[in-house]
Structure 1
Amino acid sequence: MTQKIDAYTHLSPPGFLDFLEGLSGSPHVFRKLFANTPTLVDTDQRLRQMDKYGIDSNVVVPLPWIEGIRGVYDDPALSVKAARLCNDGLRMVTLAHPGRFHGVALLPSAAGPQQMVSELERSVEELGLAGGVLFFGPTVKPPDHPDYEPLYQKAEQLDVPLWLHPCRPGSHADYPEEKFSKYLIWQTLGWVTDSSVAMARLVFSGVFQRYPDLKLITHHHGALIPTFAKRMQACYESFEECSGIDLQTPIEQPYIDHFKKFYCDTASLGFEPATIQLACDFFGVERVLFGSDSPMDSRSGEIFTPETDRTVAALKLTKAERQSIYGGNMLQLLSRGRKKKQKKAAARTAPQRPVRRAAGRR
C-alpha cells in the first residue's frame, strides 16, 4: 500500500504567533491569515482533513518565520528564544500525534553560525525533529553567506535535510521609488524568483562540492529552474564563450546539471501535471517529493491537498515511481537521519572493552 507523506506543509506551534506579537508590540501580518485558516493552528482539524484525503503524515514547516519581524530577526538573543519556543512547540505536536507529523526546526539565521548549528543539533538530537528550514529573499542575507557554512556542514553530519522557503515581504517594493509591492507581485512572482536565486547562489558557490551528501529541499516544484533550464545553460555558455565573462565558480560545466542535486516538492497550488512532469524530468523522480503547501489556500487546505494528489496521480510514471514520490523518497530522507542518531546512541551505550595493559605494567 502506498504511504502518502506530504513533505511540504505548514503549521504554527501553539502560542508562537502570540509570542512574536508580544515581542513586536503590534499585530502580526499573518493574524488575519491565521483567523481564516483553522487547520494552520488546529491539529485536530488538520488530522481530520488528512484522513479525509488519505494523507498518512505531514512534514510541517513552521509559520510565521523569524525573518518577518526585523526586531526579532536582528536581535540574536530574541531570535534564539523565538526559535527554541517554536521548536519546543513542534516537539509537543509530534509527541501528541506519533507518526502523523514530522517537525522541521526554525533556525535563528541572523543570530550567528554557532547559534544556528546548536539549535539544529538540539532540534534533531533532543527534540526528534526532521531537519531545519531556511528562509531566503532580498531582505535577508544570501544562502552563500559564510555564516551558513557551519550549518551546511552540520546538516550533512546529522544526515538531515534543510527545507528552503522564500520570504520576500509585501513591503519590499518592485521599484526603488515605490514603498511596497503592487498587485501581489511580491508573492506570485517574487517568491519563485527568490527560490531560484537562492538555488543559483548555492550551486555556483560550490556548496554541493563541499558537502556532497547535503540534502536541500526546494519549494514550489523547484521554482523557475526546470522551466528555464535550457535558457540558463545557453546563457552560461554564450556569456562565457562569447563575452569572456568569468563566473568565478568552483563548479564545472555544464552548470545546469548541478541544479539537479536539489530535491523539490510538487506544490504547484493547483492541478498542474505538466508542470510537475517537467520537474520530474529535470530533477529525476528520485528527488521529487509529494508536497502540497497545505493549508495555505483559500479553503484551509481543501484545495491544495486534493489537487496536488490529483496531479501526482496524473503523471506519466510507473507505479513504483509514483509510490516513490508519494512517500518513498521522503521516507528515505527521514530514515537516514534516524539511523545516524541510532548509531550514535548505540555507540554511547555500548559496553567498553577493558584496556589491555602491556606486560610488566601494573
Structure 2
Amino acid sequence: MTDGQTTSVTPVTLSFSTDYRRIAVEEAWAPKQLLDLYRSELAAGNITDPGFRSLWGYYLGDTERASSLTERIVEAGPSRIAAMDAAGIDVQILSLTAPGVQVLAKDIAKPMAEDANDLLKQSVDAYPDRFSGLTAVAPQDPEHAAQEIRRGHDKLGFKGVIINSHTHGEYLDDKKFWPIFEAAESLDTPIYLHPTTPSAQMIQPYVEAGLDGAIFGFAADTGLHLLRIITSGVFDRFPNLKIVVGHLGEALPYWLWRIDFMHAIAVRTQRYSAIKPLELRPSDYLKRNIWYTSSGMPWAPALNFVRDVVGKDRVMFAWDYPYQYDAQEVADTDAIAWSPEEKKAFFEGTAERVFHL
C-alpha cells in the first residue's frame, strides 16, 4: 500500500510475449459499507487513532485524488479488470485495505470482517479467473479471528489471511494472538502482514513531518512488527508458518547482518528480558518463513539485492492497486535482465506455490 498519487492507466507494450500469468498479490479492496463506517466513526469521534485520522481523514475527503481512490478501491469488476488488462496483469489477489477492521471496536470489527469476507467472495466468484482473495480478521478477538481464518479457507476458498499490522497498538508477538498463527499454520495458509500507519505510541514524529504514510511510516511500523514476531520466538513455536510482506520486506533485508549481530549480543548479555535465545539466527527465519513482494518497489537495484539476499524463489510480484499503480511499472519490471525462467517464477510460480493458486 502507498498513499502516493494514483495515476491514469494507459496500455503499454510489454517487452516480450510470455507463457505465464502475471499475478499481483497485494491489491487493495474495501466494501462501500466499510468506508461508510469509517466516515460515521470519524464524524462521531469514535476513532481517535492519529494515524487513521491522517490516512482516512484524507482519503474520505472531497479532493480529486481522494475521490478517485475511493471510487477505485470499492470496485472489483469491469473497471478494475480494464486497469489490469491495460498493464498486462492477469490476476489480482484482493485484500481488505488498511487498517481493515483493526481500528474498530471489537464488537463492530468482528461482524464487519465476516461481512467483508462474504462480499469479497461474491466478487471472486463473479470473476474467478481474474480475482482471488485473502481472509480479513479482527485480531481484537484472537479466537474469533482463528475461526474466521478457517471459514475463509474451508468455506470461502480464500488463499491466505490479511492482517494490517498493529491492532490498537498491539502486535502479534503477544501470545494472546497466537491462535491466529496456529490456525494459519495448521491450514498452510499464509498471513500477509500489510502496513498501516504507526501506532499512537510512535506516530507523532512521523505525522508532524508528513512521514507517517508510505514514504516511511508504513515500513517503520511493519518492519518493527515483523522483527518482533521473529525475536519473540513465533517461528520456533510455529516452524511451518508462512508470512508474506510487501515493499521488499519493509527494509529488513538490508539489515540482516546487523540484526543478527546485535541480536546475538542482546542474548549473550541478557540486556532485555524480551530477547531470549532462538533456535536460529533472525536472518534464518527471514529466509525460511518469510516471502517478499515488490509492491510499491518496481526498482531493479532493490529487487536484485533482495532476491540475492533472501533467495530468488522468495520474491514475487505485486502492483499495489489502486494506491500506487502505473502500467509502465509492469513493463519496466518485465525489462529487467532476468532469465525467462526467473521472470516466470517472479510473476507467477512463487505466488502459485505460496498461495496455493
Tell me the CA shift for residue 54 of structure 1: 1.2
Which amino acid in structure 2 is aligned with residue 324 of structure 1? A
Which amino acid in structure 2 is aligned with residue 323 of structure 1? K
Q: Following the alignment from structure 1 to structure 2, what is the Cα–Cα distance between the partners of residues 174 and 57? A: 35
For the residue of structure 2 that corresponds to 1:143, the secondary structure is coil
Q: Percent identity?
A: 21
Tell me the CA shift for residue 138 of structure 1: 8.3
Q: Following the alignment from structure 2 to structure 1, what is the Cα–Cα distance between the partners of residues 267 and 290? A: 24
1:118 aligns with 2:151: no
Q: Following the alignment from structure 1 to structure 2, what is the Cα–Cα distance between the partners of residues 153 and 313? A: 40
For the residue of structure 1 that corresponds to 2:107, the secondary structure is helix
Alignment of 1:1-362 (within 5 A): 1-22=19-40, 25=43, 28-29=56-57, 30-32=59-61, 34-37=66-69, 38-42=71-75, 43-66=77-100, 69=103, 73-74=104-105, 76-110=106-140, 112-137=141-166, 139-168=168-197, 174-175=203-204, 181-187=207-213, 188-239=215-266, 245=271, 248-260=275-287, 261-269=289-297, 271-297=298-324, 301=325, 303=326, 305-311=327-333, 313-314=335-336, 316-335=337-356
Tell me the CA shift for residue 34 of structure 1: 4.9
Tell me the CA shift for residue 313 of structure 1: 3.7
Which amino acid in structure 1 is aligned with residue 67 of structure 2? A
Q: Following the alignment from structure 1 to structure 2, what is the Cα–Cα distance between the partners of residues 198 and 191? A: 11
Which amino acid in structure 2 is aligned with residue 125 of structure 1? D
Which amino acid in structure 1 is aligned with residue 296 of structure 2? S
Distance 1:19 1:190, change over 3 A: closer
Which amino acid in structure 2 is aligned with residue 91 of structure 1? K
Q: Following the alignment from structure 1 to structure 2, what is the Cα–Cα distance between the partners of residues 227 and 77? A: 40
Which amino acid in structure 2 is aligned with residue 202 of structure 1? I
> Which residues of structure 2 form unaligned runs of 5+?
1-18, 45-52
TM-score (norm 2): 0.81
Higher RCO (CA 8 Å, separation ≥ 6 residues):
2
Distance 1:312 1:81, change over 3 A: same
Which amino acid in structure 2 is aligned with residue 120 of structure 1? I
For the aligned residue pairs, the C-alpha RMSD in angstroms reads: 2.6
Question: In terms of Rg, which structure is larger?
Answer: 1
> Which residues of structure 1 form unaligned runs of 5+?
337-362
Superimposed CA distance per residue, residues 287-323 of structure 1 (whole angstroms, 9 cap, x where no aligned partner): 11111212103xxx3x2x5315523541x53321221
Aligned to 1:350: none
For the residue of structure 2 that corresponds to 1:102, the secondary structure is strand
Which amino acid in structure 2 is aligned with residue 80 of structure 1? K
Q: Following the alignment from structure 1 to structure 2, what is the Cα–Cα distance between the partners of residues 170 and 197? A: 11
4+ residue runs over 6 A deviation: 170-173
Q: Following the alignment from structure 2 to structure 1, what is the Cα–Cα distance between the partners of residues 22 and 344? A: 8
Tell me the CA shift for residue 274 of structure 1: 0.6
Which amino acid in structure 2 is aligned with residue 79 of structure 1? A
For the residue of structure 2 that corresponds to 1:36, the secondary structure is helix
Tell me the CA shift for residue 327 of structure 1: 0.8
Aligned residues: 320
Which amino acid in structure 1 is aligned with residue 127 of structure 2? H
Distance 1:240 1:141, change over 3 A: closer
Tell me the CA shift for residue 240 of structure 1: 5.1
Contact 1:16 1:85 in 2 (8 A): no
Q: Following the alignment from structure 1 to structure 2, what is the Cα–Cα distance between the partners of residues 132 and 87? A: 11
For the residue of structure 2 that corresponds to 1:55, the secondary structure is coil
